Amino acid sequence: MKFLLFFTLFSLPLMAQGDKTQKGGIKDIGRIPNEPPLCIIDGKKLSRWSLKTKKLQPDEIAEILLFFREEAKNIFGNSAKYGALYIITKEALSKAQALIDIPAERKLNRRERHYREIGEFYQTYRLIVVSGKVTDKEGNPLANIKVRNNDRGTRTFTDSIGNYTIEARRWNAIQPENIEDCYLVVKEAKEQSHNFVQHPPIESRNSDPRASTPSISLKTPCDKLFVLDGLPIEKKEEFLKKIRRKKIDEIIEIDEQSGVPLYGAKGVYGVIIVNTKK
C-alpha cells in the first residue's frame, strides 16, 4: 500500500499555524495558502513530481517532524515558506545511530556524512515535552497563565493548579506572560521540567542591578549570552549556525548574578557556555 503523503502535505497548511485560544479554537490564523509544504525524506528535498511517484510504507517511517511557516523558513529558507515536513525512515535513523560511537579522528565517507547529518538534525529538532508549574512568590499556583514557545510561536495555558505542558525543540525559549524568567531548552532529554515563579515588578530601576547598563534595555530574559568554545555570541541565530555541525562535549549554565561579573552587560540574563569536541 502506498503511503499517502499527499494527505499530510495538503492538510499541513490547515493545521494550527496560528495561536490556539484557551478553548482550543484557532485565532489570527490569517490567509491559509493553498500550497503544500516542503517535503524532505532522509535529508533529500522532494519536488512535487517526485511526491507523486514516491512510495513509502508507514512501517518504514521512524520520525515525522513538522515545521510551521516561520520556523520552517528560518531553517530551510524560502522554499519552506508554507511549512516543511521532514521524514526520517527507520533505515536512515538506524544508520545514523550506528555512527554515534565512531571515533572523531576517523574520516567518514560521503554516505556516512549524510547519515550523520540526518542524526544530528533529528537530535536538534525532535520534539521535547517541557512541563512544570507557575506560581507566585508564596508558592500559590497561578491558573490561566499563557506559556509561550517564543521560537515555534505556539502557546498553552496553565490549568487550575498552575501546571503547564508545551512542546519544544532544543534551544527553544519557553516563557510565561508577565514573568521575568525564561527557560532555554539546552538539554537533549525528551522530557524536561521547569517551574516559573512570578515575582512582583521592579518598582525602581535604581534597585535593579541591570539599571547601570542602559544599553541592555531592549533585551529580554530569553536573550542569553552564548559562549561557544570561548567565543561570546549574543545572537542565538548565529550560535545555532555555528553549532549545527559540531558535537557538544559540555554545557555550563550560568545565572545572571554570576554572568554579569564574568561577561558584563552581555551576561545580564545568564550565560550558556558550550564546549565542543575537538
Instruction: Encode pLDDT of 113-129 as tens digits.
Output: 999 999 989 988 999 99
Q: Say yes or no to pLDDT of 154 above 80.
A: yes
Mean pLDDT check: name the lowest of 20-29, 62-71, 166-175, 258-267. Answer: 20-29
Q: Name 203's Cβ contacts closer than 8 Å, sequence gap at least 6.
A: none
Could you say which DSSP state residue 15 is in? S
Question: Which pLDDT belongs to residue 52?
Answer: 62
Give the integer Cα–Cα distance in Å for 192 and 107.
Answer: 35
Give the integer Cα–Cα distance in Å for 135 and 275.
Answer: 34
Give the integer Cα–Cα distance in Å for 238 and 232.
Answer: 11
Class of domain 127-201: mainly beta
Give the integer Cα–Cα distance in Å for 109 and 115.
Answer: 10
Report residue 215's pLDDT band, with 50, 70 and 90 as the boundaries.
very low
Q: Which amino acid is at 10?
A: F
Q: Phi and psi for 249 in degrees, rounded to 5? A: -100, -35
Which of 112, 179, 116, 168 shows the shortest CA–CA distance to 142? Answer: 179
Question: Which pLDDT belongs to residue 256?
Answer: 87
Whose grid coordinates read 554545557? 251
Give the integer Cα–Cα distance in Å for 265 and 40.
Answer: 41
- The partner residues of 65 in beta bridges, in order of sequence, read 86
Q: Residue 43 has which C-alpha cell?
A: 535529508
Give the integer Cα–Cα distance in Å for 271 and 254.
Answer: 5
pTM exceeds 0.95: no
Distances (CA, A) of 69 to 18, 75, 123, 176, 233: 10, 10, 21, 23, 26
Question: Which pLDDT belongs to residue 216?
Answer: 43
pLDDT tens-place string over residues 16-68: 444 444 443 333 334 445 678 899 999 999 876 666 666 788 899 999 999 98
Work out the average pLDDT over 143-159.
Answer: 95
Mean pLDDT check: name the lowest of 20-29, 214-223, 248-257, 263-272. Answer: 20-29
Mean pLDDT check: name the lowest of 41-50, 95-104, 181-190, 213-222. Answer: 213-222
Q: Residue 252 has which C-alpha cell?
A: 555550563
- Where do the structural domains in the chain lie, given as residue ranges? 5-125, 127-201, 212-278
In percent, the amount of the chain with pLDDT more than 90 equals 55
Question: Which pLDDT belongs to residue 245?
Answer: 72
